[in-house]
Structure 1
């Protein structure tokens, strides 16, 4: 597969904002306005879509309207990036309405965010060949004091082609999920020590490399067996470089997590990988001794696969999180619980 990387963002570029999944209700307009103001202060122009400041049946608008606006923004030559406010629940409705084959014939542009946006990132990369950015949502970028990991998204969006850029974990992370400060836009409280871990319990250093692909397990696991979730095909096309599959759990309790991971395994998603990277889980863990725990769930499905597995990484719904580019070449290093990832858009 020929991965196509967007041009680096430059001063004066136009960024379009649309909500292909959940819209922004009126009480959160101030937070959205702060995020938009932050874009303008960086020198970017902003275009707001009609599918943004509203909510209609658990999404921003009817599926046809959301798909039409997103497709227009993705194909309009004057738009350099599309930055939705956040994810939601119903991005999957758009998949049969988007022409990914047509997108394969137009220049790639930045499409960023996480959560339900992974539903769109995956086929954009595996079908259209676009590199897509799994990282902080726009609604997380308007704070006055943005942490270094979150702010690194701007390094990614502006990096020159084939130039390595490195990210490392903060010493601490937020103990609860991303929605905790959502109403007020408050600065996340980083109150727990960050430690990246190996699932095999080994304390030895490890280094993994390959092309990145992945996203929110809650949503992309629903794409297994469809043309929109052909991860095994991506792995096969990336044999020369290897593949690093990254996943993060937003809401699934341990037993549901096992079912989702088993679905991936039975569908061949864990074959031929160089490594698996698991983000911190934002879902409730078991509290009873006779119940399956989160770590039990991971080890039950991934404990014997033929590649290393790292978990509790800075990916997903527990801030802060790395900015990972689907399709990029990456090298991940772990030493004494401290991790770094170097990506290259090549």
Structure 2
């Protein structure tokens, strides 16, 4: 059974950094985001780890875990949003006590997605893959990003619909900030394999493939047990986004996932737009997708709104979803079924 948190008006947001903290010269980004959240009626509580960064992490693993654990057990905190991702979140997993956690939303992506997937697989608590805190510092959010709040406010038993974006950001331009943070200049077009009109159904799981792959073979990545015991054999729709992997590394990772049983009873796979997918020799990302389709014979959707090329949908690990692709446009309906 999936357990869903519910975001209420006037909620208190806990900000902690289980991966990377924020160096001093960028503290203004966090402060601006916190002020925006308070303007929108939220209360914000920041932990100590948010304000420090050294040797590729906000602090040593036990301190990060202790702060996260405390916020998760604090009834006064309703929602957790790390400032952003990072590199070494996996270090904290061994120090967390999931058994003490009651349903509470955690929202984020990149390295944070490793924590999100581990929580859902090990507790059945739904987690939210979507925007991070610093990208909520604008005067307003684009229509796609702004859906994080309606999605997290969805009641158990209800459903929520999201549409693919109209435009996406090709590259970051920090010298020219916009009122909504992002520079949305390129036309969004989802792609399909083997065809351009597709429909898939199943329970959502996924995240940044660079990091969630490291759960394979650990106690935190037992997809087979989750599928059998928590979602009772329901098919899985995987969503992935690639931050830094070359095409051959992406291919190796997908093969490893297949060999580990992650794609057993899989109904489809969605891939977010990527800033990399760097070809090796003449092996392109399209070759990766074709090889994967030939092996699994499940539909693939690519260039979806997910990951490091914003904006992105808010996708709920554990939720039942119907995803439709037609003429380059996508519709994602998520049902908060237990």
TM-score, with normalisation over the residues of structure 2? 0.94
- Asked if 1 retains the 8 angstrom alpha-carbon contact of 2:227 and 2:234, the reply is no
Give, in angstroms, the shift of residue 254 of structure 1. Answer: 0.7
Deviations 1:123-159 (A, max 9, x none): 2101111100000001111112321000110111222
Give, in angstroms, the shift of residue 191 of structure 1. Answer: 2.1
| 1:310 counterpart SS class | strand
| 1:127 counterpart SS class | helix
Indicate how the Cα distance of structure 1 residues 272 and 241 shifts in structure 2: closer, same or farther if over 3 A, else same. closer
Distance 2:232 2:177 in 1: 43
| 2:123 counterpart SS class | coil
- Asked if 1 retains the 8 angstrom alpha-carbon contact of 2:147 and 2:314, the reply is yes
- Asked if 2 retains the 8 angstrom alpha-carbon contact of 1:255 and 1:292, the reply is yes
Find the counterpart in structure 1 of residue 119 from structure 2. Answer: 124
Deviations 1:190-236 (A, max 9, x none): 22221111122x23x22111111111100001111111112233333
| 2:51 counterpart SS class | coil
Find the counterpart in structure 2 of residue 243 from structure 1. Answer: 236
Deviations 1:152-191 (A, max 9, x none): 1011122222221111112221123xxx246875432222
Give, in angstroms, the shift of residue 239 of structure 1. Answer: 4.8
Find the counterpart in structure 2 of residue 93 from structure 1. Answer: 91
- Asked if 2 retains the 8 angstrom alpha-carbon contact of 1:174 and 1:319, the reply is yes
1:20 maps onto 2:18 in alignment: yes
Distance 2:175 2:18 in 1: 21
1:206 maps onto 2:190 in alignment: no
Indicate how the Cα distance of structure 1 residues 299 and 235 shifts in structure 2: closer, same or farther if over 3 A, else same. farther
Give, in angstroms, the shift of residue 36 of structure 1. Answer: 0.3
Distance 1:343 1:88 in 2: 28
Distance 1:171 1:297 in 2: 26
Aligned match of 2:37 in 27, 36, 39?
39
Find the counterpart in structure 1 of residue 133 from structure 2. Answer: 138
Indicate how the Cα distance of structure 1 residues 282 and 265 shifts in structure 2: closer, same or farther if over 3 A, else same. same
- Asked if 2 retains the 8 angstrom alpha-carbon contact of 1:28 and 1:183, the reply is no
Indicate how the Cα distance of structure 1 residues 326 and 310 shifts in structure 2: closer, same or farther if over 3 A, else same. same
1:312 maps onto 2:303 in alignment: yes
Find the counterpart in structure 1 of residue 48 from structure 2. Answer: 50
Q: Which is further off, 160-169 or 66-75?
A: 160-169
Indicate how the Cα distance of structure 1 residues 185 and 236 shifts in structure 2: closer, same or farther if over 3 A, else same. farther
Distance 2:156 2:174 in 1: 34
Give, in angstroms, the shift of residue 110 of structure 1. Answer: 0.7
Aligned match of 2:289 in 269, 287, 298?
298
- Asked if 2 retains the 8 angstrom alpha-carbon contact of 1:122 and 1:214, the reply is yes
1:264 maps onto 2:263 in alignment: no
1:165 maps onto 2:130 in alignment: no
Aligned match of 2:110 in 86, 109, 115?
115
Distance 2:293 2:100 in 1: 36
Aligned match of 1:218 in 195, 202, 210?
210
Distance 1:140 1:209 in 2: 30
Give, in angstroms, the shift of residue 263 of structure 1. Answer: 0.9
> RMSD of the alignment, in Å?
1.7
Find the counterpart in structure 2 of residue 189 from structure 1. Answer: 183
Indicate how the Cα distance of structure 1 residues 268 and 159 shifts in structure 2: closer, same or farther if over 3 A, else same. same
Distance 1:269 1:284 in 2: 22
Distance 1:109 1:83 in 2: 11
Find the counterpart in structure 2 of residue 30 from structure 1. Answer: 28
Q: Which runs of 5+ in 2 are unaligned?
A: none
1:273 maps onto 2:248 in alignment: no
